[in-house]
Amino acid sequence: MPLTYWLEHAWLGSAVEPGVAVEVSGDGRIAAVRTGVDAPPPGAEVLRGLTLPGLANAHSHAFHRALRGVVQVGSGTFWTWREVMYGVAQNLTPDSYFTLARAVYAEMALAGITNVGEFHYVHHAPGGTPYADPNAMGEALIEAAAAAGIRITLLDTAYLSSGFGEAPNEHQRRFSDGTAEAWAERVSALGPREHALIGAAIHSVRAVPAGQLAAVADWAAQREAPLHVHLSEQTAENDACRAAHGCTPTELLAEHGVLGARTTGVHNTHLTDGDIALLGGSATGTCMCPTTERDLADGIGPAGRLQQAGSPLSLGSDSHAVIDLLEEARAMELNERLRSRTRGHWTANALLAAATADGHAALGRPDAGRLEPGALADFTTVALDSVRTAGPPPRLGAETAVFAASAADVRHTVVGGRHVVRDGHHTLVADVPTALAEAIAALRP
């Protein structure tokens, strides 16, 4: 049924407006946005605080949520972290993955996230044997998103080797379809749903042989689907690529037709000037994941230079060291301040755009991430009266949200016009902390 939400304050892309009425049509889209509405219309749902378009988490590995706290013990490197990750991946089944992902996506809804880009590569049973339904693991993720009330772009990932010219190791065999052609045949059996889109991903230039990169890119191009790729996250990847191919990973992707406006490079951390020019000149996007990049000591990617070159920015929580898109937005700016020792690289409006409209566009949903007629009725409300946000005038709500608020300040999340989080409580998953704890405990040896 059509309904009206009255927003006490709303961020409309360039400014915060008081008293905004949003009319939602029966198909879950915004029918009208009216400003200057001083009081709630009769029968309207009232959202107190600052309402933003729904946040887009453009890069997620749902099962990594089970690593939180565990991989922070002691020291180590990205590569030792990866061994712990493999151990968790080995214990996943379609049922346990659904249970975990449902809880993780519910945590995302509580954080104001209405759409997730799931970079999915745990495809088969341990050892690499396909399930009776070869897409059982992907279907579990799609169903989990529906059960948690959020949208998903399943970025089904080609992961074919353990390194340049090396066969998958014992942990990676369940990730691999053997060839890009076999990957394409499997993923072609997946279809979009009302809440789910199907995209593609190249795990990395390490994990997809150069001669098979084009096959993945062609599959995505034929379907006009988003294509994501881990890119230059580690200097060791760059060194190995140069040794194998005499070029950088970005140059290798360009050579095989992977770059372009529907492609997003995730991390894009260790780039040459030439790499930045290739990514920006092709309008290839950049998904920054600052909380994971700092947790893994990856480094600070050149986000500012990439955007200036023409690469749109989006944000992701990646390994879920925390799930907080406001923190990701804040961290991108603060990282750049530390690197440059100057302030003000992005306005709060620009950072919110990366977390909303540009993130949705990277996930194949350009019709989301804006509070305007015709857009999906996906939005989230941040409290302006918590211990973190109280004090500033509401007209500075964008600055308050980005530089002071956290996921804990989210009060409401609406997806397709339906309340998924109301007054800080998930309406579909009664006890999210317990659901997380039980799902993670079930994966321990």
Active site residues: 267, 318
Half-sphere exposure of 330 (CA within 13 A, CB side): 15
Q: Look up residue 52 and give its two tokens.
A: 């933003």
Collect all residues with Cβ–Cβ distance below 8 Å to 95 and sequence separation of at least 6.
Answer: 140
Q: Look up residue 122 and give its two tokens.
A: 């745990």
Beta strands in 121-273 (DSSP E): 151-158, 196-202, 227-231, 263-267
- Pairwise CA distance, residues 309 & 279, whole Å: 8
The answer to whether the Cα torsion of 158, 163, 165, 171 is positive or negative is: negative
180 touches 212 (CB < 8 A): yes
Task: Write the burial class of residue 98 (CB in 10 Å: 0-12 exposed, 13-18 middle, 19+ buried).
Answer: buried
DSSP 129: P
Residues written for the chain: 445
Query: What letter represents residue 395's amino acid?
Result: R
Query: By C-alpha distance, which of 336, 292, 329, 334 is closest to 313?
Result: 329
Backbone angles phi, psi at 48, to 5 degrees: -85, 135
- The CA distances from residue 84 to 160, 349, 414, in Å, are 20, 38, 35
- Pairwise CA distance, residues 399 & 348, whole Å: 5
Name residue, tokens 């009255």: 6
Q: Look up residue 264 and give its two tokens.
A: 């997003």
Query: By C-alpha distance, which of 106, 135, 131 is closest to 120?
Result: 135
